[in-house]
Structure formats: C-alpha cells, structure tokens
Amino acid sequence: MNYKEIISKIKSVRNYKNEEISPEKINELKDYFNKGKRLIEDIEIEVLLKNKSEVYEQLKDSAGYNEFMLESPHYMVFLSEEKDHYIENTGYAAQDIMLKAFSLGIGSCWITFKDGEAIKNKLNINSDKKLTALISLGFDNNKNKVIYETIYEHNPTKTDVKVVEDNVSYRLGIRDIVFMKKWGENADPDELVNIGLLEGFVSAGRAPSTRNRQPWRFIVDNETIVLALRHDSYANEYEEKIDTAVIMLYFEAVIDSTMFDITWNFGKPEKNYEIPDDYKIVGYCIS
Ligand SMILES: Cc1cc2nc3c(=O)[nH]c(=O)nc-3n(C[C@H](O)[C@H](O)[C@H](O)COP(=O)(O)O)c2cc1C
C-alpha cells in the first residue's frame, strides 16, 4: 500500500451510496486485517463485518458525536482482549484497514461511543472481548454536505454539530505541531527535510482525530521524537487513545516506507520536556 499517497487523499465519509461492497472486496479487507499492521503483537483482536440492518437502527441515538449515528451499508465492529494499551492497539489496526479500504475505493468513518458494553448488547454480541472500535463503511456518495463537528482551539464555546458545505477538513501546519528540542520552538520544515522527517510529519498532520481537534504535538530532540497529546473536555479517554494510535500509525507508516523503521514506545522518555499542563507525553520513538 502506498501510505503516503493514500494518507494525502483519505477523508471521513459520512454520506454513503445505497450500494453494498462486493464479497470479493470484503474478503480482501478481511485478509488484510489478518495480516495488517499491529502496534502490539500479543493482543488478540477480531473484526466483525456487519450490514446496515444489523447495526443502524440498533445504534441510532446511542453512538457517534452527540449520539448522531452514521448510516452506512456496512460497519466494522472491533473487539479486543483487554491488555495494556489494547485500545491504542485497535486504533492502529482499525485505521490501517480504513486506509486499505480507501485504496480499494471504499470510504469509512470512525463512530465514537461511550458505553461499549451497552453497544455490544444492542448488537447482540456475546463476547468476553471489549468493544474497541466502530467504523462505518461504504461507497462515498460524493455529496459535499457532511455532518461535521468543529472545535476552535482558541474559542471552544463555538463547538457545535453542524452541516458544512465543504467536506475538506482543515489541518494545522507543520510548524504548529512540531517543535525542535523544546516545547514552543516551532520546527523549520527545511531542517526537517535535512533529517528525513518532513514527510512523516506532513502525513502525521493529516491524521483524523476526535472532532478534528488535532490534539497532538511532537518534539524532535536529536534522535528522539516525543509525542504529546492535549487533554481537553472535548474528548474522553477512549477517544484520546484512538487519536494517539492513529497518529502513531500515520507517522510510522510513512517514515518506514521512505527512510527507516521506527517503533513507538508508550510512556515518556527520562528527560523532562516541561510541557504545558494540558498536554501529556504519550509516547516516543527513536529515529
Ligand atoms: C476517535 C475518533 C472518533 C470519531 N468519531 C466520529 C463520530 O462519531 N462521528 C463522525 O462523524 N466523525 C467521527 N470522527 C471523524 C473525525 O471527526 C474526522 O476524522 C476529523 O474531523 C477529520 O476529518 P477527515 O477525517 O475528513 O480528515 C472520529 C475520529 C476519531 C479519530
């Protein structure tokens, strides 16, 4: 899969054609899932592919932003064993399948939820595993109007669910999300080119996040790349973990394919980076 190209094009699809995906493509996705990328190898996850009739009415008013459930011909339901970082592990694998689906012409969108057990009950899923992701799947209806939630970082009171005409969502620039050596020292893209990291950060900046808050910031400190995540009242712990995993995948997939292999570690490095109180270091890697 050409991660760089797919990441540059993918967007959330919230309005789907009334058309089913062929069994061949569904099988291709299933195969991919069985071989796909994992953040942690020894956590068992499974994905159930379900049709609209098995999910949509059942979850109407109980999943999605402000309980706005997305209507789509198919859904992927992820279940995981409960182990350290199991939510991040699903986030990483699920986003990887969403990228694969996009490469096959299939659109998708994350659907958030608060109570995984209640959702399992509504979907008649009898499993000891935890519900870790819910994703809509189908062909993009190419309608410009999408239901979309905007948060303005500096004016959070403007939060609302609204219909926007333009479905290309805005992203922060590289200088806003990458710091050099210490917090607040905005990165110079030329310098990032020299150290081979610019493409990785450009892709990382394209990562989807809960309510498009783009809560992640990086500090590049020689070989160490530190990932910090903002904690705010617009995302819950589950959503923060998925946001973390997704950006780890976007950065890693592109760096791995262009330069060298990196591996993310959870937690923080020994050095104190003196980051603001509303951020926390969630992981780091060595380039
Ligand atoms: C953890 C997570 C949960 C999300 N939940 C929803 C949701 O419930 N409904 C929705 O319409 N979009 C949801 N999204 C999609 C984001 O709003 C979307 O990715 C972001 O606004 C960026 O837009 P883009 O994906 O089109 O680039 C979610 C994304 C993430 C990462």
Q: Does 155 fall in a domain?
A: no
Residue nearest to atom 15 of ligand 1 (CA): 110
**DSSP states of 205-238 as a string?**
TT---GGG---EEEEEETTEEEEEEE--TTS-HH
How many domains does the chain fold into? 2
pTM for this predicted structure: 0.93
d(CA 193, CA 206): 18
d(CA 234, CA 169): 18
Co-location of 130 and 179 in the same domain: no
**Neighbouring-strand partners of residue 135:** 76, 110
Q: What domain range includes position 59?
A: 3-138
Q: What is the CATH number of the domain that holds 114?
A: 3.40.109.10
Biggest CA–CA distance in the chain, Å, is 53
Q: Does 93 fall in a domain?
A: yes
Asked if 210 and 237 count as a contact pair (C-beta separation under 8 A), the reply is no
Q: pLDDT by residue for the chain (287 residues), tens digit each?
A: 899 999 999 999 998 999 999 999 999 999 999 988 889 989 999 999 999 999 999 999 899 988 889 999 999 999 999 999 999 999 999 999 999 999 999 999 999 999 999 999 999 999 999 999 999 999 999 874 444 444 444 443 434 444 444 455 788 999 999 999 999 999 999 999 999 999 999 999 999 999 899 999 999 999 999 999 999 988 999 999 999 999 999 999 999 888 788 999 999 999 999 999 999 999 999 98
d(CA 42, CA 81): 10
- From 113, 138, 163, the end of a domain falls on 138
Ligand 1 pocket by Cβ (under 6 Å):
11-12, 14, 64-65, 70, 109-112, 147, 169, 208-212, 239, 242-243, 246
